[in-house]
Amino acid sequence: MRYFLLVFIVFLIMTSIDILTTINKRSRAGEMLVYVKCGSRALLIFNLIGTSIVALLYLWIFYKRLNRLVSVLYPQYLDKWYQIFNYRLLEEIREGFVEKGMLHESITVERFTDSGLFYLMLFILWIIITCTYAYDYFGKKGICDRAIFLGRSFLYCWNKISCYEWGEQCNKRNRKYRKLAIFVNNGKLSRWLTGNDTMKVNLMVNMEDYEKAEGILRDKMLKCG
């Protein structure tokens, strides 16, 4: 339990760093001039649904452990709700049950201290992960003044983009879009792993913003071909 608490704290620190990094990336991108959509969001939807289900599963397990604990300890042994998080107090109560030969009660408390609080922390971890995927899915993405910002993990500065090309029109939710592909220069490691100098990123631009987007892209880089 103590080791997991340490991992939990480290995860919170890393998440805080990730949030601050995302805020910094958004700031570096500058003013958002044209909103875009990612070409394929199936993986984001899958991640968002999957992490939500896992979080709810851990919450349900914690609730079951907590419900059993409450039926044993309230109101005779605990009188305040926050005492269920007092690990030392629960251990003292459990040891008292053992000394009195109250096997069922001692096992109930032991299960909560060993795994109930563990599942609560797992629930919190997965809620945080779900929130990051929700930000990636619902957060605004677009062509900005100094870069193309595509969410938490993706910021493509203009000097990192090789070229762009427009694709065909498409309809999505009764709106017309124009497909857009940008080709981002790969770093040395990516070139070695993929054998390609560039990475293709598929986007979609609302047809109403097509002319504006074309003007910005034309000023920033060359068309492919």
Confidence band for 115, pLDDT divided at 50, 70 and 90: confident
Share of the chain above pLDDT 70, in %: 95
Sign of the Cα torsion 63, 67, 68, 74 reads: positive
What are the pLDDT digits (tens) for 22-76?
888 888 888 999 999 887 677 778 888 999 999 999 999 999 988 888 888 888 8
Query: Residue 216: its pLDDT value, please?
Result: 92
Q: Which residues have C-beta within 8 Å of that of residue 67, sequence separation ≥ 6?
A: none
Query: Residue 225: its pLDDT value, please?
Result: 55
Is 16 strand, coil or helix? helix
For residue 58, give both structure tokens: 């851990």
Q: H/E element holding 181?
A: strand 175-185
Contact 184, 150 (CB under 8 A): no
* Residue 93, CA distances (Å) to 89, 111, 141 in order: 6, 13, 53
What are the pLDDT digits (tens) for 7-36?
778 888 888 888 888 888 888 888 999 999
Question: What is d(CA 150, CA 169) in angstroms, rounded to the nearest whole number?
Answer: 21
Query: Residue 213: its pLDDT value, please?
Result: 94
Query: Residue 3: its pLDDT value, please?
Result: 64
Long-range contacts made by residues 48-52, C-beta under 8 angstroms, separation at least 24? 48/130, 48/133, 48/134, 48/137, 51/126, 51/129, 51/130, 51/133, 52/130
Quickly tell me which residue has 């592909």 as its tokens. Answer: 181
What are the pLDDT digits (tens) for 85-113?
888 888 888 888 888 888 888 888 888 88
Kindly report the average pLDDT of the chain as a whole number. Answer: 86
Query: Residue 6: its pLDDT value, please?
Result: 78
pTM of the model: 0.71
Question: What is d(CA 135, CA 75) in angstroms, rounded to the nearest whole number?
Answer: 42
Contact 160, 173 (CB under 8 A): no
What are the pLDDT digits (tens) for 175-197?
899 999 999 998 888 888 888 88
Confidence band for 142, pLDDT divided at 50, 70 and 90: very high
Query: Residue 44: its pLDDT value, please?
Result: 79
Query: Residue 87: its pLDDT value, please?
Result: 84
136 class by beta-carbon count within 10 Å (0-12 exposed, 13-18 middle, 19+ buried): buried
Question: What is d(CA 34, CA 144) in angstroms, rounded to the nearest whole number?
Answer: 7
